[in-house]
Amino acid sequence: MHSKTSLVGLSTLAYLHAANAAAMSLASNLTIPVQFAVASYRQVDSYTSINFFSSFNFFTGSDPTHGFVDYQSQSNAQNRGLINTNNGQIYLGVDHTTTNPSPGRASVRLTSNKAYNHGLFIADIAHMPGSICGVWPAFWLFGPNWPNSGEIDVLEGVNLAGTNSITLHTSAGCTINIGGSQGGTNLNDANCNSNNGYNGCGVTTTVPNAYGDGFNNNGGGVYAMQWESSGIYVWFFPRNNIPADIRSGNPVTGNWGLPIVAFNGGSGCNIDQHFMNQNIVFDTTFCGDWAGGVWGGTCASRASSCNNYVAQNPGVFAPAYWTINSVKVYQL
């Protein structure tokens, strides 16, 4: 964790200490979240097409979520055209030409070499995997010894979803409230250790053009996730409405209005005990525990199982790719 004392003045420090105490009290009373640091964030890391693939490692093990996926090494992904940095953007794709691939459809899962404690994480994404049966994309963070160091799912969904699911996963003892979130955000479960952490405490959202096909058709946008002792907050800005302070590299969370979701800490959850040493992850898997587990409706009319559909219809996965302009990390 980066030292705060060498970066901000004494008057700002006094403000932050007061704000932190106020945040705990406010969160406990289901009121709006404190915008924890209105003027003191500084950039500590910038991941762009220049350094992304040297700053992230390629996971090549079996999918922990039991997906029908074959995660590729960097060299294999490069050779197969699954990754590139064309036009100054980071491209993360999947195989969309092979029928009945074994042991699963080729894809990539990248994890940042660096782990973080607290910060403001701003991802400028031009395209994400579309709303396609069998697809399960995610932009998220997690720490070691899961779920003891926590997991923060910023952008995630499955199959034909048109809206984003935002979820926290923790060890026992973290119950969250979402007071101060935007209207239309609904808490599915307050217990972040629900089902031993596998379900977690998630919300469904109604923000337009924030996921899948709608997101892509609108040119993507920016997700910002703020993680401090008071709580974890997530904003989304569509391409045509990105705040000037983000575009200038001087983000001020207090300017942005209510987040899509405010996961408030306070008496129900000591954030610093449940979230630590987290790495940034981008991945695209197929089927598995979630996308396969809810296989039904329109998707089920196309194939008897998720795995069969993914195996036999490679061409539909051409739009299942990420195009990332940058991921920037700021800390106090």
Residues designated as active site: 151, 156
Give the gyration radius of the chain's Cα atoms: 19
- Cα 326 from Cα 329, distance rounded (Å): 10
Measure the CA angle with vertex 282, ends 182 and 42; round to 5°.
65
**Cα–Cα distance measured from residue 115 to residue 45, given in angstroms and rounded to the nearest whole number:** 11
Query: SS3 for 192-254, per residue?
Result: CCHHHHCCCEEEECCCCCCCHHHHHHCCCEEEEEEEECCEEEEEEEEHHHCCHHHHCCCCCHH
CA 203 from centre of chain: 13
**Interacting residues of 40 by C-beta distance below 8 A, sequence separation 6+:** 7, 8, 12, 16, 332
d(CA 239, CA 228): 26
> Would you give the DSSP letter of residue 137?
E
Whole-angstrom distance, CA of residue 63 vs CA of residue 310: 16
CA distance 286 to 105: 8
Q: Which amino acid is at 325?
A: N
